[in-house]
Structure formats: structure tokens, C-alpha cells
Amino acid sequence: MKLRRRTLLSNALVLTACGTAAAGPPKAKFTLLLDWFVNPDHAPLFAAQYSGAFDRAGLDVTMIAPTDPDLPPRLLAAGKADAALSYQAQLYLLVDAGLPVRRTGTLIDKPLNTLTALAASGVKSLKDLKGRKIGYSVAGMETVQIATMLKSVGLSLTDVTLVNVNFALVTSLMSHEVDAVIGTYRTYEDIQLAQAGLHPVVFLPEDYGVPPSDELIILSNANGLANPALPKFLAALREGVTYLHAHSDAVLARFVADHPTLNDRLDRASWAALPGYFAPDPAHLDVTRYVRYRDFMRQSGLIKQNLPLDHYAVQIMA
């Protein structure tokens, strides 16, 4: 599962209720489980909250940050929430494991993942990784991505040494434990390395044979696709994206006021780097992308079967 490697804000649930109660008809309650703790990746959600889009849609939205990032899809499958954030690559594994979840929306519609080395290592191209150590955090998905990237330049996993660095991506690079790592984000760890003056050498998986994927998606329970609050939520989120582009500084000011531990140089730089990655229409489904990635997962042996697209993803008319 794709995780963020930042300091966990707390071990308690983070609850964010949208707006104060206003006069009028009662609002429909809508619970969203975040992928992990609150961070700049969630900016459109907070823009929808701060702009009143959720309120105008008649929704009382609660966002919950889990103590364990593996929990959201499973709690969703158990009917404990209306939606959950996850990752496109994870979606196929969840469905393959029999969880009744479907992608119904997209928050970030471009890949963020990178394979990164430091200039001081002398690595200038993927071919320079021959005989080197590559760190990873998630066996299976990340090792398949490494193999795919290496294959595109005539190398294989036998030409490198894989090291499980257990999400210590930046520190393992800085300590020279490994020569490169996969799993850094172009909007976070790669910025962190650059800010430290370490001159990251960044390779994008989609440039080396790995199909592009949506980084952060919205899952719904397959048995709850008719939930009338779901299209309202997606429409309000679309308003949030538009509002964020027009009022990024104002949204950021309130965001860091609400989450002061994120008011630092790195998170502000991440916030500034992210707007181009947010899906302008969260309800839109790129059918070709989802079919292509399903086939990649099957061909790589990560899933056991190719199911019809609607077993993985559907488009809700928002």
C-alpha cells in the first residue's frame, strides 16, 4: 500500500466537521475516511469545506484520519463509512482480495511516485543503477515497478540489490544505505531532498514502462453506489477544486491555522506544488487508464484475474 513517510500527527482520530449548522433542512451526514493523517494532498477537501460547498450541497461531512492506514478500505467494506481515500494501484489488490469496494471519484489524477537517487551517488541514468542498491518499502507493487523500469533500459532485478528500508526513504538515501529508493513523492520527499541541498535525481515510473495511474482516489462500498449523498459530495468537491485554484493562499492560511504542525517550509512547498495534480472533475473516470493498469497488474502477477471494469471503477454522475 502506498503510504506517506511523514511524522504521524497523533495516534488519535482526527475529526473535521464541515461548517457550523445553518438554519434550514437537516443535512445528510457523510463520513469520509482519509488515507492517513491530514496533509496537503487533501487540499480540495478542505477548500470544499472552507468555501461552504459541502454545506450548500446539503451535506454534513466528517473527515476521519485513521490510526492505521490499512483500515479505511476495510472499514468502508464493513459499512462503517460512506467513502474512503485510497490509491488506484491498491484498488485492484482490494478487489482481488474480495473487498466490495469501487472507485467512484478521484482526488489526485496523476502519479506522484518516483524512483530517486542523489547526484552525489553518480547516478545520472537508470542504467547507472547496475550493481547498486535500491531501497523499497512495499514488496510486490514497488518491486514490480522497479523491475519494469529496469527492463526498459535493458536491466533486470538480478542487476541490482533490493533493500527493504521500511519507509525510511530519505534517511536511507542520506546515510548512503542505498543508492536509490522508490516511493518518494515528487510533491514531497523530492522537494525535501532539494531543500536540503542534496540534488535529487528523479526518475518518473511512467517514463519507463509503468502505466500512469491516479494517485489518490475515492472508494465507495459496492453496495452503497446508490447513496444520494455521493453525487452531491463529488459535485461539492469539484467546487472545492475550483475554489482552491482561485483562492489557494486563503485556503492555505486557514488550513495551517487549523493544522499548525503543517505550517512549515516543506508542507508549504508541497501545497504550492500540488494544484496541477488535483482532478478538476473528481467524478470523471478515465476508462482507458483503469483498464490498462488492471492489465499491468495481471501481467505482473499482482492480481489473479482480470475482472470487468465495473468491478473496479464506476462513474457517478455528479
Question: Does the pLDDT at position 7 exceed 80?
Answer: no
Report the pLDDT value the prediction gives residue 10, as an integer from 0 to 100: 37
Asked if 22 and 70 count as a contact pair (C-beta separation under 8 A), the reply is no
Domain boundary among 165, 183, 208: 208
**Considering the chain, what percentage of its residues have pLDDT values greater than 70?**
92
- Based on the fold, state whether residues 245 and 265 are members of the same structural domain: yes
- Based on the fold, state whether residues 104 and 184 are members of the same structural domain: no
Report the Cα 56 to chain-centroid distance in Å.
27
- Based on the fold, state whether residues 178 and 305 are members of the same structural domain: no
Question: Does the pLDDT at position 16 exceed 80?
Answer: no
**Beta-bridge mates of residue 181:** 116, 135
Report the pLDDT value the prediction gives residue 5, as an integer from 0 to 100: 43
- Based on the fold, state whether residues 138 and 264 are members of the same structural domain: no
Instruction: List Cβ neighbours of 119 (8 Å cut-off, separation of 6 or more).
Output: 198, 199, 200, 201
- Based on the fold, state whether residues 57 and 120 are members of the same structural domain: no
Q: What does 26-46 look like in DSSP terms, one character per residue?
A: PPEEEEEE-SSS--GGGHHHH
The helix (run of H) or strand (run of E) holding residue 301 is none
- Based on the fold, state whether residues 223 and 98 are members of the same structural domain: yes
Asked if 73 and 220 count as a contact pair (C-beta separation under 8 A), the reply is no
Report the Cα 72 to chain-centroid distance in Å.
13
The domain of 159 spans 113-208
Residues recorded for the chain = 318
For residue 89, being part of any structural domain is answered with yes
pLDDT tens digit sequence for 158-169: 999 999 999 899
For residue 9, being part of any structural domain is answered with no
Residue closest to 155 by CA, chosen among 134, 182, 126: 126
Q: Which amino acid type is present at position 235?
A: A
Average pLDDT of the chain? 93
* Residue ranges of E strands in 34-179: 59-65, 83-86, 101-108, 113-118, 133-136, 161-164
**Beta-bridge mates of residue 182:** 115
pLDDT tens digit sequence for 255-274: 999 999 999 999 999 999 99
For residue 317, being part of any structural domain is answered with no
Question: Does the pLDDT at position 140 exceed 90?
Answer: yes
Pairing state between β 83-86 and 28-33: parallel
Task: Please state the pTM of the whole predicted model.
Answer: 0.92
- Based on the fold, state whether residues 264 and 288 are members of the same structural domain: yes
- Based on the fold, state whether residues 229 and 298 are members of the same structural domain: yes
Provide the 3-class DSSP secondary structure of residue 17: strand
For residue 256, being part of any structural domain is answered with yes
Domain boundary among 184, 208, 232: 208
Question: Does the pLDDT at position 100 exceed 90?
Answer: yes
Report the pLDDT value the prediction gives residue 317, as an integer from 0 to 100: 86
Integer-rounded Cα Rg, in Å, for the chain is 20
The DSSP output letter for 135 is E
Question: Does the pLDDT at position 20 exceed 50?
Answer: no
For residue 43, being part of any structural domain is answered with yes
Question: Does the pLDDT at position 279 exceed 70?
Answer: yes
pLDDT tens digit sequence for 203-262: 999 999 999 999 999 999 999 999 999 999 999 999 999 999 999 999 999 999 999 999
pLDDT tens digit sequence for 69-81: 899 999 999 999 9
Residue with cell 485554484: 245
Domain boundary among 175, 208, 241: 208
Q: How confident is the model at residue 19 (pLDDT cuts 50, 70, 90)?
A: very low
Q: How many domains does the chain have?
A: 2
Report the Cα 86 to chain-centroid distance in Å.
6
For residue 181, being part of any structural domain is answered with yes
For residue 3, being part of any structural domain is answered with no
- Based on the fold, state whether residues 87 and 128 are members of the same structural domain: no
Report the Cα 133 to chain-centroid distance in Å.
26
Asked if 108 and 279 count as a contact pair (C-beta separation under 8 A), the reply is yes
Q: How confident is the model at residue 116 (pLDDT cuts 50, 70, 90)?
A: very high
**Beta-bridge mates of residue 64:** 15, 33
Report the pLDDT value the prediction gives residue 23, as an integer from 0 to 100: 56
For residue 44, being part of any structural domain is answered with yes
The CATH number of residue 81's host domain is: 3.40.190.10
Residue closest to 40 by CA, chosen among 283, 282, 264: 264
- Based on the fold, state whether residues 129 and 92 are members of the same structural domain: no
- Based on the fold, state whether residues 140 and 218 are members of the same structural domain: no
Calpha distance 231→229 (Å, rounded): 6
pLDDT tens digit sequence for 176-197: 999 999 999 999 999 999 999 9
- Based on the fold, state whether residues 199 and 243 are members of the same structural domain: no
